[in-house]
Structure 1
């Protein structure tokens, strides 16, 4: 929201034979290293991408409550008012807690549409995904996304992970094909 760009770059985790099997996410703010988070998080990202796509569908349970597809996100699992869709921290247990975080929560907002002093208006309720990243230096960045933008971001991450050698094809085939580069602006 401050004009910065945050690149979220999947980096392959490899087994003893050097074969990629999962990813860790490198965070880069305006091209500079910002942290590394989410060790072995690719399958979780693929599962979330599938849940977001299902929530956006016109026949989903979310469609009845949220007519605008941009407001449709997976139903909260814990009943929280602002549920978390993901929260990734530093990648190794030995890292300091300040080496990076990437978090996505759902926020609901409402605005009165119509004149303030009349009963002829209505409430416009909207949901958005808020992605926050915190770097090793303690600075943070934030992006607010619609459900289609979140779906595109997750699909981009999965596509980049596949290029890095970690395939989630079994889940990726269920999600729309993305454009390259997972970037938030």
Structure 2
């Protein structure tokens, strides 16, 4: 939102034999290192991408409540107490030993409402919309934010998973036939 450019680059995690099996996400703001998050997060992102495609589809449970496909997102999973957190993902520093300032990347759902007044009727209605708010916090404590439709989030995840595959970590078996 501030004109900055944030790149999220999947970096392969290697097993002892040197074979890529998962990814960690490297954050770059305006080309400079911004942090590293989400160690071994690729399968989680692939699962979210598949759930997002399903939520955007006509006839999905989300379609009944959200007529505009850009407002349709998968429901976040409930916690043990049944409460749903609005976050679709939250990746923080990579290891338990890392300090908290190493980086963070999160995506939360936000619902907004706008009053639409009917012309010359003195009446109106609320137009509800949902968007994904993606925030990244760098190792220096600065943050960036982007507000995405479900289509834009889907495109971001597709690109991220394509880059992960180029890095050697494929999630096609997990994704099935997403498109």
Q: Same fold (TM over 0.5)?
A: yes
Deviates more, 1:49-58 or 1:88-97: 88-97
Give unmatched runs, 5+ long, in structure 1.
Answer: 177-185
State yes or no: 1:138 paired with 2:153.
no
State yes or no: 1:166 paired with 2:169.
yes
TM-score by length of 2: 0.93
Task: Quote the offset at 1:172 in angstroms.
Answer: 3.8
CA-based RMSD of the aligned residues comes to 1.6
The corresponding residue for 1:37 is: 37
Give unmatched runs, 5+ long, in structure 2.
Answer: none
- After superposing on structure 2, the runs of 4+ consecutive aligned residues of structure 1 that deviate more than 3 Å are 115-119
The corresponding residue for 1:71 is: 71
The corresponding residue for 2:8 is: 8
Is the 1:35–1:99 Cα contact (8 Å) retained in structure 2?
yes
> How do residues 1-185 of structure 1 correspond to structure 2 at under 5 angstroms?
1-78=1-78, 79-80=83-84, 83-114=86-117, 119-176=122-179
Deviations 1:40-75 (A, max 9, x none): 000000000000000000010000000000000002
Q: Distance in 2 between matches of 1:60 and 1:89?
A: 31
Task: Quote the offset at 1:120 in angstroms.
Answer: 2.2
TM-score by length of 1: 0.90
Q: Counterpart of 1:18 in 2: which secondary structure? A: coil
Is the 1:155–1:175 Cα contact (8 Å) retained in structure 2?
no
Indicate how the Cα distance of structure 1 residues 162 and 77 shifts in structure 2: closer, same or farther if over 3 A, else same. Answer: same
Q: Counterpart of 1:98 in 2: which secondary structure? A: helix
Task: Quote the offset at 1:169 in angstroms.
Answer: 1.0
Kindly tell me the number of residue pairs found equivalent between the two proteins: 175
Is the 1:155–1:172 Cα contact (8 Å) retained in structure 2?
no
Task: Quote the offset at 1:99 in angstroms.
Answer: 0.5
Task: Quote the offset at 1:118 in angstroms.
Answer: 5.8
Q: Distance in 2 between matches of 1:140 and 1:26?
A: 15
